[in-house]
Structure 1
Amino acid sequence: MVWTWRYEKKDGTVVTPPGGEEEFAGQGDAESWIGESWKQLLEDGVDTAVLLDDDRVIYSMSLHES
């Protein structure tokens, strides 16, 4: 199992951030990474992050503060 994040604009367009795609060994590692990186991703034009376990969508979340 490989955990990754897919990044999207508000209209659903997929965004590839400058650093490229990260792969994680587990959900906790992926969530820790997004917790540290979301502000930079937002600056890079990402609006939504979608957590994937291989190709299975686990959840999506807005990177904008509510």
Structure 2
Amino acid sequence: MTWTWTFETSTGDVIGRSEVFESRGDAESWVGEEFGDLLEQGIDQVRLFDGDAEVYGPMSLHAEIN
């Protein structure tokens, strides 16, 4: 299995893709550590893929406002 993130604008336009991770845990840890840098690069949301299959998303990188 290969795990990757797609990087998207808030409207769902794909603007990039992450490196490949060997496990879901590695992919999730990476996005948790890098989300601030991703936001600075103009990435609003991400989707996690296992190969070509979408696992979940879109997941916003912005803080929730309650």
Q: Same fold (TM over 0.5)?
A: yes
Are the counterparts in 1 of residues 5 and 18 from structure 2 also a CA contact under 8 Å? Answer: yes
List alignment gaps of at least 5 residues for structure 2: none
> How does the TM-score come out when normalised to structure 1?
0.89
Counterparts of 1:25 and 1:5 in 2: how far apart (Å)? 12
The sequence identity of aligned pairs, in percent, is: 48
Distance 1:47 1:21 in 2: 14
**Runs of 5+ consecutive residues of structure 1 not aligned to the other structure:** none
Q: Does residue 13 of the first structure (1) align with residue 10 of the second (2)?
A: no
TM-score normalised to the size of structure 2?
0.89
SS in 1 for 2:29: helix
Alignment length, in residue pairs? 63
Structure 1 residues 10-49: Cα deviation after superposition (integer angstroms, max 9, x where no partner): 1111112xxx631100100000000000010011010111
Superposed structure 1 runs of 4+ greater than 6 Å apart: none
Aligned to 2:49: 52
RMSD between aligned alpha carbons? 1.0
Does the alignment pair 1:23 with 2:4?
A: no
**Structure with more contact order per residue of length (Cα contacts < 8 Å, sep ≥ 6):** 1
